[in-house]
Chains A and B, each alone.
Chain A
Amino acid sequence: MSEIIPEVSKDGLLDLGKKLFDERRVDYFLGYKKGTVRFKTIPLIARKGEDLQELWVEDFFHANLSLYLKEIKGRVGILAKGCDSRSLVSLIKEGQIKREDLYIVGIPCAGQVDPGKAAKAASCEPEELEEIIRRNQEFVIRANGQEKTLSKTQVLLDKCLFCQYPRPLIFDSLLTGDYVAPVSPVARAQDDLRQKPVSEKWAFWSGQFERCIRCYACRNVCPACFCPRCIVEENMPQWVSPLPAEGDNFVFHLMRLLHVAGTCVSCGECQRVCPVEIPLMKLNEKMTDDLRELFDFVAGVDLEKALPFRTYRQEDPQDFIR
């Protein structure tokens, strides 16, 4: 079956955006603009055609723009990488947005850079990185006046190394470019922690939970965390105290994880924004692996399949029940 894909060039993107505003197809357009801090890009929330002048889709656009759909209601044009489109699918399934209200422009992504990882590979501080330049199949890192060449696996975010959906799953038009995974997807390395005894797991996670400062950036940046009022803010009764103490942090993170189960598409934004660098993706990946294994469910890839906690099968595993 031949499919007609409306392609749009980078220059054409601006015109397309303006046209969408002119034709009143959208009230907002979510894109990116050039960041003011190294390796960051600013989410651009355009409310009229002229705002799109600053649109910039070059590199470092890791932000998952679908997070703004929690707040911005109405008809929205949005740029989506392959992985971000899974969030859109998830949100449509959850009834948070309507497909017809969205105008999705797919963008090609050659993998997003993880500055922390790159710094480690280049044995310098993340703050010392001056430039990260893509060159063919490699990256050139400049730090402290020196240049180093690193491979993609040393620089890209872990999630990009296992990229399964380089091409958006749903879209209205596509930006011209190659929709291929940055590296040929390999099986995700098994998380060593899963094989460890329970006491070691606790030693690891209690150390992580203890550091949490409860800034709630993980929650607020998460497209799947769309509750208008979060249970941690509920104080009659109080389920989770606001104290940044290990036990309350444990309840907060586990509770959040269970709330996003089935909606979380492992976009990795929570881990990326965490100011104290808690490896939250380990938890998300454990949860998504379990959902796949137990209920054959993968979030954000199928608009039809029922969400895992809205359905059941009589033969669901129950070996853990006495």
Chain B
Amino acid sequence: MYRKITREKLRKWLIGLSARAEILVPAKMNGLWTFRLFHNQELPQNFLNSRIPPKNLFFEPLKGLLGWKAADGSFQVNSCPAPEAARVIFGLKPCDARALRLLQPVFTGDYPDVFYAGNLSRTLLLGQACRVQCQGSFCSEVGIDRQDSVDFDVFFREIAGGYIVRVITEKGNTLTGEKEFFEESSAGEWNSAKEEIRGKNEIPLFNLEKVKAGARERFPDEDFWMRVSAKCINCGICTYLCPTCHCFDLCDLQRPGQGVRFRCFDSCAFPDFTKMAVHNPREEKWRRYRQRVSHKFNFFYENFQTVACVGCGRCVAHCPVNLDLREVLLEMAR
């Protein structure tokens, strides 16, 4: 189903929604794009991908899971409630939304995570089409259409004076059904409004099938991994800025009589990540780098039939030593 809305009406529609839900929109804070609470302000145009991926709004970097308290001879344990309050996020990019869907089987599979599931079900995902290719990105190579997506509830594409809208879910349909804001549109109009992406890779960088095959074949090739990871400095930027990385650590904090168990991010780039009592299977950094790449393009694919990379380019653009994942993939595809 396709609809249209003007820029001003969209803002009014969001103001209306804000009575019922918390609304997050792209905003620039301290020089970085991020998502902030909507205070009826003008919506930004030409915003770029947020530096910190919106994954953090669903799978938080710091999350209390349970708390305990001992008082007057009794001992109480409370689990942290699953989030319920309705929420709307506007301006998500197709890559980040795909990442949220990729993580769904991980968090809602055999051992469901109430927090991730709760965050996903309480949030209305409003996407927006990209107009420029982000620095370091390779989204089309991993099968993401920057101008079209079905990973949202409603997908917006900027046109002159407003937006053309693709309604994907029933929830989205109900909310955009209000005639005072949205006009009806058609598939024809949607297709003809498709824009060229500025600065896109004219020729695909690599073939994903070959990368997947290469990930399996290259796994035992120690020299290859040592060579590509030599300059890695073992920081957590690539994992913490990754929209699909989802490793975490549990940590207890206590003070007399009470304590809280937290979940916080962990990174396979850190030397201690797999450290056990007397042994660390990934002591050398090439093993850790191999793990990161193989997890995304080999193990995750085997488990969930999709690669765990959406090509957003954050790890490429922000790596302190310019360790370019694209180059590694290219070499694997050879």
Contact = CB atoms under 8 A, between A and B. Distances in A.
A and B touching (Cβ–Cβ under 8 A): yes
Contact of B320 (A36, A44, A211, A221): A221
B159 interface: no
16 contacts: A36-B316, A36-B324, A36-B326, A37-B322, A42-B323, A43-B322, A63-B320, A125-B48, A127-B48, A211-B30, A215-B235, A242-B264, A244-B61, A244-B62, A245-B62, A275-B240
Contacts of A116: 31
Nearest to B235: A217
Contacts of A42: 231, 321-324
A275 B265 contact: no
Interface in B1-50: 30-32, 48
B312 interface: no
Nearest to A234: B272
Given A36-B326, A37-B324, A41-B322, A241 B31 contact: no
Interface string A78-100: 00000000000000000000000
B241 interface: yes
A221 B233 contact: yes
Query: DSSP majority for the B interface?
Result: loop
A12 B132 CA distance: 42
B251 interface: yes
B241 to A, nearest CB: 6
A216 B271 CA distance: 12
A38 B135 contact: yes
A144 to B, nearest CB: 9
Contacts of A241: 251, 253
Interface in A264-281: 269, 272-273, 275-277
A211 to B, nearest CB: 7
Given A63-B320, A243-B62, 20 more contacts: A37-B135, A37-B316, A40-B322, A42-B323, A42-B324, A45-B230, A116-B31, A127-B134, A214-B265, A215-B237, A215-B239, A220-B234, A233-B270, A241-B251, A242-B251, A272-B320, A275-B241, A276-B30, A276-B51, A277-B30
A127 B46 CA distance: 11
Interface in A211-225: 211, 213-217, 219-221
A217 B320 contact: yes
A176 B313 CA distance: 37
Nearest to B325: A36
B302 interface: no
A232 to B, nearest CB: 10
A45 B264 contact: no
Contacts of A276: 30, 32, 51-52
A63 B321 CA distance: 8
A277 B31 contact: yes
Contacts of B294: none
A233 B272 CA distance: 8
B35 to A, nearest CB: 14
Contact of A213 (B240, B251, B317): B240
A233 B230 CA distance: 23
Nearest to B272: A233
A67 interface: yes
A233 B249 CA distance: 13
B69 interface: no
Interface string A38-67: 101111110000000000000000010001
B267 interface: yes
B206 interface: no
A146 to B, nearest CB: 14
B327 interface: yes
B58 interface: no
B135 A217 contact: no
B262 interface: yes
A35 interface: yes
A68 B270 CA distance: 17
A38 B231 CA distance: 18
Interface string B202-242: 00000000000000000000000000001101111101110
A38 B61 CA distance: 29
Contacts of A217: 233, 235-237, 320
Nearest to B263: A243
A68 B136 CA distance: 25
Contact of A216 (B270, B316, B317): B270
Contact of A275 (B233, B237, B270, B327): B237
Contacts of B265: 213-214, 244
B236 A37 contact: no
Contacts of A36: 316, 322, 324, 326-327
A167 to B, nearest CB: 26
Contacts of A244: 61-62, 264-265
Given A37-B317, A275-B241, A275-B318, A243 B262 contact: yes
Contacts of A127: 48, 132, 134-135
A38 B133 CA distance: 14
Contact of B237 (A41, A242, A269, A273): A273
B317 to A, nearest CB: 6
Interface string A126-163: 01000000000000000000000000000000000000
